[in-house]
Amino acid sequence: MLITIGAFLVTLAPLMRFYAADRLISAPADQYVVTKLQAEDAQYFSTGDLKVLTGNLDITVTTRGDVAAATGDQVVWDEFTAVNDVTNNRQGISFNQRRSAFNRYTGEGVNCCGSNVEKEPVNLSGQVYLFPFGTQKKAYKVFNGTARQAFEARFVGEETVNGLAVYKFEQSVPQTRTQTLTAPASVLGMTQSGDVQVERFYDGVVTYWVEPTSGVPVKQEQQRHEVLKTEDGVERSVAFVATARMTPATVGELVAKAVDAKGQINLLKVTVPLILLIVGLVFVIAGLLVVARWRSSRRARI
């Protein structure tokens, strides 16, 4: 019986390490997190003032999981972003929303469940919100919500954030047309009367600091450069130019979540399998000793 139990535990150890753990480690369907960023000396075109303003911005991003929409391998998260201008006392200068579906085990985008940006359907690809569990030192395609497509995020080095070892990735987004608008020609510095059609273009650099075991980004910086161009290709005005960074409080909260996730993953992939293996071997050895003693005793009686 000892040998049987021990053999079972020894067999269970690699199953836990290489199969069960990978099925137990996944992104939550009931995600709820509020992250805050700040951008100092940002420039943006104020539709209320019909001119470019400069100010310090507070940015709040609320992400909530749609539990009812989660099925099988995929989860669905909804995101809402609100931007306030603290310097000029302008509330709600920008509101954005996004709905994303992705594989709960790999973090890769899935096209289903009404995925959209600003209510417009999108084709999701690349990593969405999370990097893979066991992130490696290589480039990953990451979905950019502003450009509405995935671009490569290159591994650029190792750092520490609040004492936690992380991998740093940088994603460069080329100039991409994101919106077609109409605006008064006069506010764009043009001499003609009436409204003109303008295109909004975005380019930027997004930097991620990722805890590699869990794939959780614990810090993020976004360098955004958005301008308005007329049909002749001439840049007429700033639309939004800023460098947004997560606040220290938000970074601290994300680091704590990453540390907890890393601990759970190591428990499932290292500690539990190791305990199963050791206990199993102890049982097998104990069983073999009992059998050897029984055989020795039997021979002595004969």
**Predicted pLDDT at 186:** 85
**Predicted pLDDT at 117:** 94
Residue in 23, 17, 31, 16 with CA at minimum distance from that of residue 257: 31
Distance of CA 80 to the CA centre of its chain: 15
The Cα 191–Cα 185 span in angstroms is: 7
pLDDT tens digit sequence for 270-283 = 666 677 667 766 76
**Predicted pLDDT at 224:** 95
**Predicted pLDDT at 102:** 96
Cα 196 to Cα 184, 227, 275, distances in angstroms: 6, 15, 70
**Predicted pLDDT at 174:** 96
Q: For residue 182, give the amino acid letter.
A: T
SS (H, E, C) 42-76: EEEEECCCCEEEEEEEEEEEEEEECHHHCECCEEE
Cα 237 to Cα 52, 133, 146, 183, 199, distances in angstroms: 8, 42, 19, 11, 11
DSSP state of 268: I
% of residues, the chain, pLDDT over 70? 84
**Predicted pLDDT at 299:** 66
**Predicted pLDDT at 135:** 95
pTM for this prediction: 0.85
Which stretches of the chain score pLDDT less than 70? 2-3, 5-24, 267-273, 276-277, 280-281, 283-284, 287, 291, 294, 297-302
Which tokens go with 210?
């990722």
- With H, G, I as helix, E, B as strand and everything else as coil, classify residue 27: coil
